[in-house]
Amino acid sequence: MGSGYVVAVVGATGAAGSTTLKVLEERKFPVKELRCYASARSRGKAVSFRGETLRLEQVGPGAFTGVEIAFFSAGSAQSKEFAPLAVQAGAVVVDKSSAFRMDPSVPLIVPEINAHAAKNHSGIVASPNCTTVVTVMPLKPLHDAARLRRVIATSYQAVSGAGVRGVEELRRQTLAWARGEGIRAEFFPHQIAFNLIPHIDGFADNGYTGEELKLVNEVRKILELPDLRISPTTVRVPVFTAHSVAVNVETEEKVTAAKARELFGGFPGLRLWDDPAQNRYPMPVVVEGQDDCFVGRIREDLSLANALNFWVAGDQLRKGAATNAVQIAELLIR
């Protein structure tokens, strides 16, 4: 494959893992050798990378000998079990699960926001939850300009955020509806086709879901604002790809809508998409396949002097997962 690094992708057949392969190829990441790992269910299957067909391997002890960079996208259980083994073998792990995100010794990185924190890694660097990435991108320029005081974020999350089974469920239920057949919920707790489910990742004792608490804790860690007040709601919606978030932000200093457009338009990784007269605003069908997060519907809060409302959308398989992880690896090799 040429000069570069020995790279491993764990969970290569999942939604995030397969997108990681695509992003590595698109961004011409320097890969000398690529090893792809998947579960026993994928034994005998193969993936394609740069025109080559690579057989999938099953991860296990000894799998990471010689690996220099390992991307983990197979879930927190596998990350907890195998990421330390990869580090022991000499690899740097970029982990996309929730396994290490809140570990004080593990940096949680969005390269456009806190690249400096990556210097402090001890073998593992965590990539945030996909909703966190989409939400925090426009928060950073506002904080730098006017200091955040409070954030209210309501996310509308695509089924691919739950993996390939989420995609299969929405497709199956939609086809069943079109054929006039009954709709069965097998993966999500309720029908997802033509429905909204305000429940992602279990409920805590305080009534918030796991996805909502991830948003709170991860945004605070990335922005280094441990006391930032955040009120989250997360909703699963019948969209295949791309998460959208309605955000209300209160700042210490007033930021006009015009100033916010200027800040968003000048921030790397954000694309201003805000022309209401032309019905131009971020939507999943617009941002799917894009690495930037798109922000629009920018307006000043009618109820509070120093507050803004806006709408941000991003492809959660790309910037929300794979692209962010590859950007972290690019940062590390620099």
Query: Which residue numbers are catalytic?
Result: 130, 243
Cα(224)–Cα(139) distance, integer angstroms? 12
Structure token digits, residue 271: 């694309």
Q: Give the pairing type, strands 243-251 and 307-314.
A: antiparallel
Cα-flanking dihedrals φ and ψ of residue 84, to 5°? -60, -35
Buried b (16+ CB within 10 A) or exposed e, 165-203: ebbebbebbbeeeeeeeebeeebbeebbbeeebebbbee
* DSSP helix/strand/coil, 68: coil
Residues 110 and 287: beta-carbon distance below 8 Å: no
Q: Which residue has the tokens 């593990």?
A: 106
Q: Are 191 and 209 in contact (CB under 8 A)?
A: no
Give me 204's structure tokens. Answer: 């805590």
Contact status, residue 89 vs residue 65, Cβ threshold 8 Å: yes
Cα 8 to chain centroid distance, Å, stands at: 19
User: Is residue 281 a contact partner of residue 298, using CB atoms and an 8 Å limit?
Assistant: no
For residue 223, the surrounding DSSP H or E stretch is helix 210-223
Residue pair 236/192 in contact (Cβ under 8 Å)? The answer is yes
